[in-house]
A and B are shown apart, each in its own frame.
Chain A
Amino acid sequence: MARRGTVRAGIAALALLPLALGACGGGSGGGTASGDPNTLRVLDYHNDDPNKTVWQGLLEDCGTEVGVTIERESVPGETLISKVLQQSSSRTLPDVLMLDNPDLQQIAATGALAPLGDYGITTEGYAEGVVDASTYEGELYGLQPVTNTIALFYNEAIFEAAGLQPPTTWDELRTTAQALTQGDQYGVAFSAMNSFEGTWQFLPFMWSNGGDERDIATSETAEALQLWVDLVSSGAASKSVVTWGQADVADQFKAGNAAMMVNGPWNFGSLAENPDLDYGIVPIPAPTAGAPVVSPFGGETWTVPRTGDEEKQAKAAEFVQCLNSDENMVAAAVGTNTVPTKPELTDEAVAQVPALESFAEQVPDLRSRTGQLGEEWPDAATKIYTAVQNALVGGMTPEDALRQAQDG
């Protein structure tokens, strides 16, 4: 009998196992702490410096201001969405949730987020594109304090030796990149990877020429893609652009293998590791002289998930507002090499970090990736990088590649 008792206990324990595991999964950061009305659970993906430390400071400051203690969890960037999905199915969402801005509409569409208008939050002074990205079906779901975008970095020593000026138009980009290609050195580097990074890098070219993500099988988008094809087929850019992420692009530029690169301000730290490298930053070349350049923007938006605790949600909304105060915007921008999302504050940040200028001047015209397609954006983004790759190395013409991708 005793033995059977053990077996039964074993079975019982086994049957309880999934429950216990489930409890562990949902309990990280939850449990008793979440019941405390004066604690806010915060989830973000700033787990490397300088972002980690700068945001820790801002979160704590705002916690003090709102009168709550902060329980912060930072997960690796690529796992944030799956974490959020798990939490939304187990009803253990944090009180304050940070999302990459193109993901906001996807998550808002699930109903997991609370509209910030309910807490009297408005968006006066913000750049229009930034507000678009945090809005879903007419309701505001997030506030984004700082942003970044991409521009053209150029190696000053190489340009000086060649007696050239950084290009401002597509034609100049073609000729300058060609002129600077010699030996192991390519004229320009960019990321045409088969991921959303590749799409993100292509957008300034596509949008500035009048292309649109709702239908990519247009002559405007084809012309933009033709520019990239020309750069690669002429040898001015390595064929490896189809496998390079933006970090690889920065490595190539840092090593002097490319005279120019398309990249963003988050590389300042890594580029500084090469003390011999002097570089300048100019806006991405426009299709024709003087034409406006329309770029996508990065950065994260802060949201208030529906946790069911109205009082806490109100506190969380107050907290999000604090993170977006003018003072904190500038502090975050200067600390993490980003730009405030209120155009009137950009000068203040640029005064402290002059290298941000080319990024700051783009803020009023920045365009949201999800502004038109909302939750359908991931499909369009996949189509865009697929077409880019097919045209660059798949042997298709830009027109055919875009047509095939658009038709699925």
Chain B
Amino acid sequence: MADVHAAERAAGRAKGAGAPVSAPRRGGRNLRTRLVEVAFLAPAVAYLLLFFGYPVVKNIVMGFQAYTTSTFYTGEAPWVGLDNYTAVLSSAVFDRALLNTVLFTAGSIVGQFVLGLAIAVFFRRRFPLSGFLRSLILLPWLIPMIAATAVWRWILDTDNGVLNRLLTLLPFVEVRPDWLTSTTLALVAVIGVNIWLGIPFNMTILYGGLQEIPDELYEAGALDGATGWRAFRHITWPMLRPVVTVVLVLGVVYTLKVLDVILGLTNGGPANSTQTIATLSYAVSFRQFDFGQGAALGNILVLLSLAFAVVYLRMNRRAVDE
């Protein structure tokens, strides 16, 4: 995303520089400013084509090819039309993976967003050590993902995990939930860990958004009797809306493609109960060496993100227009 903005800024700058010069005189000078404009654009365009355009196009093409280990040596990847997509869509795991992807994304986003927003609002009030505590919440962000998931695996272990040991210490609790080995609970556990990982991101951006809301609004609202929940409903929420949009769109796009959290915790198991399209794509490509089918799954994932982004941005534009 940052790169896209950089490109837009570069383009804007190029135009801004060119416009006043080209206005009074035309001809050779105009051509020259044109060239300068192009030259300013070129690095960004080259970067985008190289690091975004090429991989995307390559991945789309791979989805239509029988791309296997042999391809790397011989360079031959026969065209197979829609075979990869048929194979992937008709496999026994796909429906489960699609459902898991939706549940995982929805569950993670709702949890991360609600908790992140609650914490951001909480920290809006200043109190002793608030800055220190706020920075502590960023910790999950700083720990390497694989290390974090390894620790969570220990915490969630059925027999010796800290969580279950603590649970048994509580009165009236007799159960030891199989966090990572039950086909129903594993998805819940994975979503829980992903929420923990996502809170800092949501909190930081939402907190930034809250800082932008002028205090005068709250003061004026308080005079009219809008405090507490009503202040949040009628002042904070409407003012925060643009930031919320960004957080949600980015959140969904990031969560759809989450791989490391699931691989580290359950590897997609047990019995495919936490398999998502992203982990399935990884397994098909790098364990079964069927890169064509893996690419097809990747493309389906890209389509999903794209569809979501388009729908959400449209809905949002309509809301703003109203």
* Chain B residues, CB < 8 A from A238: 158-159
A392 on interface, CB distance cutoff 8 Å: yes
* Residue contact B287 to A196, C-beta cutoff 8 Å: yes
Q: Considering the complex, which residues of chain A in the window 383-403 have a beta carbon less than 8 Å from any beta carbon of chain B?
A: 386, 389-390, 392-395
Instruction: Give the interface segment out of A60-68, A102-110, A159-167, A271-279.
Output: A102-110
| B19 contacts the other chain (CB 8 A) | no
Q: Does A174 contact B (CB under 8 A)?
A: no
Asked whether A378 and B288 contact (CB < 8 A) given A389-B272, A393-B182, the answer is yes
CA A125 – CA B123 in complex, angstroms? 74
Q: Are B46 and A15 in contact (CB under 8 A)?
A: yes
In the assembly, what is the distance between CA of A255 and CA of B153, in Å? Answer: 17
Q: Tell me, yes or no, whether A23 is within 8 Å of chain B by CB.
A: no
Segment 245-293 of B: residues with Cβ below 8 Å from A: 266-273, 283, 286-289
| Chain A residues with CB under 8 A of B70 | 109-111
Q: Which of A18, A85, A194 contacts B50 (CB 8 A)?
A: A18
Q: Is B42 an interface residue (CB 8 A)?
A: yes
B69 within 8 A of A: yes
User: Do residues A404 and B39 form an inter-chain contact, with CB atoms below 8 A?
Assistant: no
Proximity string of chain B (8-52) to chain A, C-beta cutoff 8 Å, 1 when within and 0 when not: 000000000000000000000000000110011011001100100
The CA of A14 and the CA of B46, in the complex, are separated in Å by 8
- Does B172 sit at the interface, judged by CB under 8 A? no
A408 within 8 Å of B by Cβ?
Answer: yes
- Which interface class (under 10, 10 to 19, 20 to 34, 35 or more) fits A? 35 or more
In the complex, are the beta carbons of A184 and B159 less than 8 A apart? yes
Are B288 and A392 touching (Cβ within 8 A)? Answer: no
A257 near B72 with CB under 8 A, answer no
Take A11-B46, A107-B69, A111-B73 as given contacts and tell me if A389 and B270 are in contact as well, using a CB distance cutoff of 8 Å.
Answer: yes
Contacts of B157 in A (CB 8 A): 240
- A257–B271 contact, CB under 8 A? no
Q: Contact string, B149-185, partner A, CB cutoff 8 A, digits 1/0?
A: 0000100011110000000000000000010111100
For B92, what are the chain A residues with a Cβ–Cβ distance below 8 Å? 404, 407-408
Q: Does B131 contact A (CB under 8 A)?
A: no
The distance in angstroms between the C-alpha atoms of A392 and B50, with both chains bound, is 47
- Does B270 contact A111, Cβ atoms closer than 8 Å? no
Main SS at interface, chain A: helix
Cβ of A10 < 8 Å from any Cβ of B?
yes
Residue contact A4 to B39, C-beta cutoff 8 Å? yes
Classify chain B: how many residues form its interface, as a range. Answer: 35 or more
Least Cβ distance of B7 to chain A in Å? 14
Write the A362-398 contact mask toward B (1 if CB under 8 angstroms, else 0). Answer: 0000000000000100110010001001101111000
Q: Is the CB–CB distance between B271 and A389 below 8 Å? A: yes
> Which residues of chain A in 12-36 are interfacial with respect to chain B, using CB atoms and an 8 Å cutoff?
14-15, 17-18
B181 touches A11 (CB 8 A): no
A-B CB contacts (within 8 Å), total count: 115
A338 CB to nearest chain B CB (Å): 25
For residue B189, give the distance in angstroms from its CB to the closest CB of chain A: 11
Over the window 40-70 of chain A, the binary record of Cβ atoms lying under 8 Å from chain B Cβ atoms (1 yes, 0 no) is 0000000000000000000000000000000
Q: Which residues of A contact B39 (CB under 8 A)?
A: 4, 7-8, 11
Least CB distance from A60 to B in Å reads 30
A3, closest chain B residue (CB): B36
Contacts A11-B43, A378-B289 given: A394-B270 contact, CB under 8 Å?
yes
A276–B285 Cα distance when bound, in Å, is 44
Nearest B-chain residue to A391, judged by Cβ: B271
**Contact among B91, B267, B286 for A194, CB-based, below 8 A:** B267
A110-B72, A378-B289 known; A243+B183 contact, CB < 8 A: no
Q: At the interface, yes or no: A203 with Cβ under 8 Å from chain B?
A: no
Interchain CA distance A112-B75 in the complex, whole Å: 12
Chain B residue with minimal CB distance to A107? B69
Q: A87's closest neighbor in chain B, by CB?
A: B72
Given A193-B267, A243-B269, A257-B159, A85:B69 Cβ within 8 A = yes
Q: Are B271 and A394 in contact (CB under 8 A)?
A: yes
Chain A residue, CB-CB nearest to B275 = A194
Hey, which bits of chain B sit against chain A, CB under 8 A? 35-36, 39-40, 42-43, 46-47, 50, 69-70, 72-75, 91-92, 153, 157-160, 178, 180-183, 266-273, 283, 286-289
Interface residues of A (CB under 8 A from B): 4, 7-8, 10-11, 14-15, 17-18, 81-82, 85-86, 88-89, 106-107, 109-112, 184, 193-196, 238-240, 242-243, 257, 375, 378-379, 382, 386, 389-390, 392-395, 404, 407-408
Q: 14 A-B Cβ contacts within 8 A?
A: A8-B39, A11-B42, A11-B46, A14-B43, A89-B75, A110-B72, A111-B70, A194-B267, A194-B269, A194-B270, A238-B159, A243-B180, A243-B270, A378-B287
